[in-house]
Amino acid sequence: MKKVYVNEDWCLACHLCEYYCAAANSGAPNMIKAFKSGKKPVPRIQVEEGSEVNFAVQCRFCDGKACVKGCIAGALSITPEGVVVCDENKCVGCYTCVLSCPFGCIVIDEEGHRIQKCDLCTKNHDGDPACVQGCPNKAIVFEER
């Protein structure tokens, strides 16, 4: 399955991926509107900064899938392609998945009532995920490994 991978050698911690992600998933037609109308959208990818190494983190689509197993509302499911997606209408905001994700990749949305996670931009976008397209240094790639 094609996944998003990050090469820490090239991650500059510019945080652009976060902004492209948040804007792409905000439903707004452009980044300015996404960030300037009401609450700031929350990105599903987050850059961890270190003194020398930086790393953008988002859902790894790991084998364990503790999030799906732990979901009490049946909101999280796995598509035939292997993508873990969240049905926002079913999510009750119990945060079980947030706690059980070993990578800390599930985040709480700007309203604070639901979770959101990376779905590889399958719902909002054509082509490569927004974080991949927006990375200025090709640190984030979308590929089969």
Q: 41 is written with which tokens?
A: 């959208």
* Whether 119 contacts 85, CB under 8 Å: yes
Residues 64-123 that bind other proteins (CB under 8 A): none
In the bound complex, what is the minimum distance in angstroms from residue 115's beta carbon to other proteins? 23
Q: Report the nearest approach of other proteins to the CB of residue 30 (Å).
A: 8
Question: Using the rule CB under 8 A, which residue among 3, 4, 6, 19 binds other proteins?
Answer: 19
Q: Rule CB under 8 A: choose which of 2, 28, 31, 65 binds other proteins.
A: 31
Using a CB cutoff of 8 Å and minimum separation of 24, what contacts does 67-76 make?
Answer: 67/96, 67/97, 67/100, 67/101, 67/106, 67/117, 68/97, 69/100, 70/96, 70/97, 70/100, 71/96, 71/97, 72/96
Q: Output the smallest distance, CB 74 to other proteins, in A.
A: 36
User: How many chain residues are in contact with other proteins, going by CB under 8 A?
Assistant: 20
20 binds other proteins (CB under 8 A): yes
Q: Can residue 137 be called a binding residue for other proteins (CB under 8 A)?
A: yes
Residue of 5, 28, 35, 98 that binds other proteins (CB under 8 A): 35
Give me the residues that bind other proteins (CB under 8 A), please. Answer: 9-10, 12-16, 19-20, 23, 31-32, 35-36, 52, 134, 136-139
